[in-house]
């Protein structure tokens, strides 16, 4: 959430920057509600101060044996007015916070302004696209012989967009997860195992609610009000809600594997079948809590971490610095790491690394204290390290051979009994 003081002091500048992410963003309503709230608070505080003064006067008069009935009647009426104003304050405050929570974070000044993802700036490429001297196949065609996934049975038990992994497909998926966790842990990230269900306030704290309510899977149960997580970013951010860190413990680097659940798959095109876009997928997530002056360094470290994993797998990729209109809601800076998928003839994101500055920590009340200073908000950062479904597609399509076999990268072979290839069944 944005700092209301920043909006008060720079309304035109803030609104102009917000519109680069969301053309419909406006701050006039927020400023109007903020002005109303401050007037109400001033009035109620004045009345409470007067009540305290009169209460003292009543005590003094009672001690002198004087009649205080008229004053008590006045105080009773004043109490009713204060109660009504307190209710108004609460109502306006809730409306203001709701409006504020729907405004995105402000992009950094060096981010290119555009609403078109085609304008994303390619800042790095590694490796080269594979070349084939045979008619190569996409991952669905390869799967017809390899028998790694069963999309039909997944649809029968849950619906379209819910793949089933089997045999070597399941083993390869776990190999990827274990390999990615091992790289993150080697690089100083502490592993967590997290619930796949969270309370709405935890989703709110990470910026998923209320703006993206229609993208979430909710559990309909009279005893529980819970959501399935769209990413481990959500519970990782929620781990330290309402806490104050000592600055000596920062930065904190966390990593977690979880399944992720998203409703967005329904809009997939015909070329995004199979594992390209699904309602449930596996992901290893990086998350950092840092002092403001350290968040830039942590961002670069997280990008390098994602790159190390892809380089170990031998996959060609590129890093795209996202334009304002393509950035995530909570982010001030985002780099997407994209791998080449021959079967789709295009790049696809397998990691998105974002610096969210103090946007999430303000919503979640996560602070730190420098020695002798007042608490201040931490910066939070998140990034895939990595998401497996598209990574699986990349491994199959980039490493295929003319005979239908697929080479397994050396870094994954120890997790698969030193198997070197996947072979048609």
Q: Which tens digits make up the pLDDT trace of 171-185?
A: 999 999 999 999 999
In a domain, 112, yes or no: no
User: Is the pLDDT at 67 greater than 70, yes or no?
Assistant: yes
Range scoring the smallest mean pLDDT among 25-39, 210-224, 299-313: 210-224
pLDDT of residue 406: 98
Based on the fold, state whether residues 122 and 78 are members of the same structural domain: no
Per the model's pLDDT, the better-predicted residue between 72 and 385 turns out to be: 385
Based on the fold, state whether residues 96 and 124 are members of the same structural domain: no
CATH of the domain at 88: 1.10.287.40
Range scoring the smallest mean pLDDT among 34-48, 67-81, 157-171, 391-405: 67-81
In a domain, 109, yes or no: no
Mean pLDDT of 371-400: 97
In a domain, 11, yes or no: no
Structural domain boundaries, residue 251: 117-422
In a domain, 1, yes or no: no
Based on the fold, state whether residues 221 and 370 are members of the same structural domain: yes
Domain boundary among 76, 101, 126: 101
- Asked if residue 122 lies in contact with residue 319, where contact means CB atoms within 8 angstroms, the answer is yes
| 8 pLDDT tier (thresholds 50, 70, 90) | very high
In a domain, 17, yes or no: no
Based on the fold, state whether residues 268 and 161 are members of the same structural domain: yes
Per the model's pLDDT, the better-predicted residue between 57 and 19 turns out to be: 19
Residue of 392, 324, 407 whose CA lies nearest to 132 = 407
pLDDT of residue 70: 72
| 271 pLDDT tier (thresholds 50, 70, 90) | low
CB atoms within 10 A of CB 9: 10
Based on the fold, state whether residues 360 and 274 are members of the same structural domain: yes
pTM here is 0.93
Q: Tell me: the pLDDT tens digits for 146-196?
A: 999 999 999 999 999 999 999 999 999 999 999 999 999 999 999 999 999
Domain boundary among 101, 127, 159: 101
Mean pLDDT of 237-260: 98
Query: CA-CA distance, 165 to 143, in Å (whole number)?
Result: 11
Based on the fold, state whether residues 310 and 343 are members of the same structural domain: yes
In a domain, 106, yes or no: no
Query: Three-class SS of residue 66?
Result: coil
Based on the fold, state whether residues 55 and 195 are members of the same structural domain: no
Q: Tell me: the pLDDT tens digits for 116-129?
A: 999 999 999 999 99
Based on the fold, state whether residues 86 and 127 are members of the same structural domain: no
Domain boundary among 101, 126, 147: 101
Residue 337, classified by CB atoms within 10 Å of its CB into exposed (0-12), middle (13-18) or buried (19+), is buried
Based on the fold, state whether residues 416 and 338 are members of the same structural domain: yes
154 Cβ contact list (under 8 Å, min separation 6):
162, 163, 164
User: Is the pLDDT at 267 greater than 60, yes or no?
Assistant: no
Q: What percentage of the chain reaches a pLDDT higher than 90?
A: 89
Based on the fold, state whether residues 191 and 327 are members of the same structural domain: yes
User: Is the pLDDT at 268 greater than 60, yes or no?
Assistant: no
In a domain, 259, yes or no: yes
What total number of domains does the chain contain? 2
User: Is the pLDDT at 266 greater than 50, yes or no?
Assistant: no
- Asked if residue 163 lies in contact with residue 192, where contact means CB atoms within 8 angstroms, the answer is no
CATH of the domain at 384: 3.30.930.10
Based on the fold, state whether residues 180 and 254 are members of the same structural domain: yes
pLDDT of residue 270: 47
C-alpha dist (Å) from residue 340 to 177, 314, 343, 396, 397: 20, 12, 9, 12, 9
In a domain, 272, yes or no: yes
Based on the fold, state whether residues 68 and 167 are members of the same structural domain: no
* Whole-number average pLDDT of the chain: 95
pLDDT of residue 61: 76
């Amino acid at each position: 959430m944005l700092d209301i003081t920043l909006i008060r002091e720079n309304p035109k500048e803030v609104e102009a920057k917000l519109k680069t992410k969301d053309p419909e963003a406006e701050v006039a309503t927020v400023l109007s509600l903020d002005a109303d709230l401050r007037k109400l608070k001033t009035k109620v505080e004045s009345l409470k101060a007067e009540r305290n003064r009169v209460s003292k006067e009543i005590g003094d008069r009672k001690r002198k044996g004087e009649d205080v009935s008229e004053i008590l009647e006045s105080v009773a009426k004043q109490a009713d007015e204060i109660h009504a104003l307190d209710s108004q304050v609460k109502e306006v405050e809730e409306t203001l916070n709701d409006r504020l929570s729907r405004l995105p974070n402000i992009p950094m000044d060096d981010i290119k302004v555009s609403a078109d993802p085609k304008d994303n700036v390619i800042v790095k490429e590694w490796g080269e696209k594979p070349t084939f001297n045979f008619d190569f196949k996409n991952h669905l065609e390869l799967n017809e012989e390899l028998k790694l996934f069963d999309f039909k049975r997944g649809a029968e038990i849950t619906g379209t967009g819910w793949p089933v992994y089997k045999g070597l497909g399941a083993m390869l998926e776990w190999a990827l997860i274990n390999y990615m966790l091992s790289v993150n842990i080697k690089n100083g990230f502490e592993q967590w195992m997290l619930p796949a269900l969270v309370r709405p306030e935890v989703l709110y704290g990470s910026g998923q609610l209320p703006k993206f309510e229609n993208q979430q899977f909710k559990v309909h149960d009279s005893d529980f009000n819970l959501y399935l997580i769209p990413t481990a970013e959500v519970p990782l951010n929620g781990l330290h809600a309402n806490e104050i860190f000592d600055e000596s413990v920062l930065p904190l680097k966390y990593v977690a594997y979880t399944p992720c659940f998203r409703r967005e798959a329904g809009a997939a095109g015909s070329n995004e079948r199979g594992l390209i876009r699904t309602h449930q997928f596996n992901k290893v997530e990086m998350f950092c809590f840092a002092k403001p002056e350290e968040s830039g360094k942590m961002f670069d470290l997280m990008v390098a971490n994602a790159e190390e994993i892809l380089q170990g797998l031998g996959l060609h990729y590129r890093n795209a610095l996202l334009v304002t209109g393509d950035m995530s809601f909570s982010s001030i800076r985002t780099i997407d790491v994209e791998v080449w998928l021959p079967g789709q003839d295009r790049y696809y994101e397998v990691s998105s690394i974002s610096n969210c500055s103090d946007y999430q920590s303000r919503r979640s009340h996560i602070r730190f204290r420098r020695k002798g200073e007042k608490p201040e908000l931490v910066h939070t950062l998140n990034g895939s390290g990595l998401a497996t479904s598209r990574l699986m597609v990349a491994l199959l399509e980039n490493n295929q051979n003319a005979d239908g076999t697929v080479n397994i990268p050396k870094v994954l072979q120890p997790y698969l009994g030193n198997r070197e290839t996947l072979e048609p069944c």
